[in-house]
């Protein structure tokens, strides 16, 4: 891989998935893309990149983009967000939405499904308080590969032992050979869709709660700001945004403010919901990033 090829790949990933690759990540590129070089019979990294440069090979483009995503996830990751969900978000929304009895939750980087399924289990555990309520969880991700896994709800013994209390494993999973599958009632609570956060997602409508965890960390400041500004439009005034443990809105947008004392939890600032990120206006002016794809 020549410096020029690496530069091309960096730009390609930045525009297509938002991923920012620093120059010291050559090893990462090699370990993630060499398997693709082999399976696509192109053999070398250079050949893969040259094929991308000629463009038009959609399957290869998707393979490269998906291979460069980091999909690690586990059940009840970091615990606090799920405690906040049960103890702060749910009680507030159960009260404020008591007329409609409807709750919409979006996991915007759902990966292999552990996060939405953790929320589904939380909801089931609170079912006694939610008689007559309709809840909908939407799980989206850029990568179809992880969404397939999420949909199947099949996890290895290793995966079900990271963060999942044994009682919940017994209660909600079935053993399938040496794998564990989350039960059909849980799977039916969640809808899965492929979605790139760089693209317009206004058509998804409004959500009461958005989990957008451990994905913004891979993007640059402008992209983070722009996505946060659009997320604000997907939430009502009293909705909640949940970010990952290493993520914040501070310095990125005026649309959200941290909820005091609740790590990773954010709400909209009253009356300020204009897009404020530096990237926001230019990207919209260019017709959205979706326009850049073709």
Ligand X SMILES: C[S@@+](CC[C@H](N)C(=O)[O-])C[C@H]1O[C@@H](n2cnc3c(N)ncnc32)[C@H](O)[C@@H]1O
Contact residues for ligand X (CB under 6 A)? 17-18, 69-73, 77, 109, 111, 115, 141-143, 146, 196-198, 213-215, 244
The DSSP bridge partners found for residue 258 are 266
Query: Residue 276 binds which entry of ligand X, other proteins, none, with Cβ cut-offs from 5 to 8 Å by kind?
Result: none
Of 168 and 198, the one with the shorter C-beta distance to other proteins is 168
Query: Residue 163 binds which entry of ligand X, other proteins, none, with Cβ cut-offs from 5 to 8 Å by kind?
Result: other proteins
Whether 224 and 275 have beta carbons less than 8 Å apart is answered as no
Cα 185 to Cα 166: distance, rounded to the nearest angstrom:
19
By CB under 8 A, name the one of 59, 166, 271, 285 that touches other proteins: 166
Of 1 and 169, the one with the shorter C-beta distance to other proteins is 169
- Return the number of other C-beta atoms located less than 10 Å from residue 159's C-beta: 18
Tell me, rounded to whole angstroms, the distance of Cα 166 from its chain centroid: 26
Total residues found in the chain within this entry: 294
Stretch of residues binding other proteins (CB under 8 A), selected from 37-45, 140-148, 162-170, 210-218: 162-170
Of 139, 74, 78, the C-alpha closest to 105 is: 139
Of 125, 114, 71, 126, the C-alpha closest to 211 is: 114
Place of tokens 């997907």: 234
Minimum gap (Å) between residue 78 Cβ and other proteins: 11
Q: Taking CA 111 as the corner, what is the angle to CA 131 and CA 260, rounded to the nearest 5 degrees?
A: 65
By CB under 8 A, name the one of 2, 11, 157, 282 that touches other proteins: 157
By CB under 8 A, name the one of 4, 35, 165, 278 that touches other proteins: 165
Query: Residue 285 binds which entry of ligand X, other proteins, none, with Cβ cut-offs from 5 to 8 Å by kind?
Result: none
Q: Name the site residues for other proteins (rule: CB under 8 A).
A: 74, 79, 157-158, 161-163, 165-167, 169-170, 175
């Amino acid at each position: 891989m020549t410096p020029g090829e690496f530069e091309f790949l960096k730009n390609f990933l930045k525009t297509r998935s938002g991923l920012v690759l620093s120059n010291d990540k050559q090893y990462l590129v090699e370990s993630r893309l060499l398997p693709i070089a082999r399976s696509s019979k192109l053999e070398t990294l250079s050949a893969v990149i040259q094929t991308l440069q000629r463009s038009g090979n959609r399957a290869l483009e998707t393979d490269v983009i998906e291979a460069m995503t980091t999909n690690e996830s586990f059940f009840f990751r970091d615990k606090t967000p799920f405690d906040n969900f049960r103890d702060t978000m749910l009680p507030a929304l159960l009260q404020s939405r008591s007329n409609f009895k409807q709750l919409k939750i979006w996991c915007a980087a759902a990966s292999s499904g552990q996060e939405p399924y953790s929320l589904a289990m939380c909801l089931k555990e609170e079912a006694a308080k939610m008689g007559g309520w309709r809840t909908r969880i939407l799980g989206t991700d850029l990568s179809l590969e992880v969404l397939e896994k999420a949909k199947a709800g099949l996890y290895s013994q290793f995966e079900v032992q990271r963060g999942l209390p044994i009682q919940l494993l017994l209660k909600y999973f079935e053993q399938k050979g040496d794998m564990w599958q989350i039960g059909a009632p849980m799977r039916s609570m969640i809808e899965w869709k492929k979605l790139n956060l760089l693209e317009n997602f206004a058509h998804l409508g409004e959500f009461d709660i958005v989990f957008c965890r451990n994905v913004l960390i891979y993007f640059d400041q402008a992209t983070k700001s722009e996505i946060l500004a659009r997320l604000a439009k997907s939430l009502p005034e009293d909705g909640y945004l949940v970010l990952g443990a290493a993520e914040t809105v501070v310095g990125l947008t005026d649309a959200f403010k941290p909820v005091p004392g609740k790590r990773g939890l954010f709400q909209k600032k009253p009356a300020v919901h204009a897009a404020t990120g530096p990237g926001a206006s230019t990207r919209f002016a260019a017709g959205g990033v979706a326009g850049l794809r073709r």
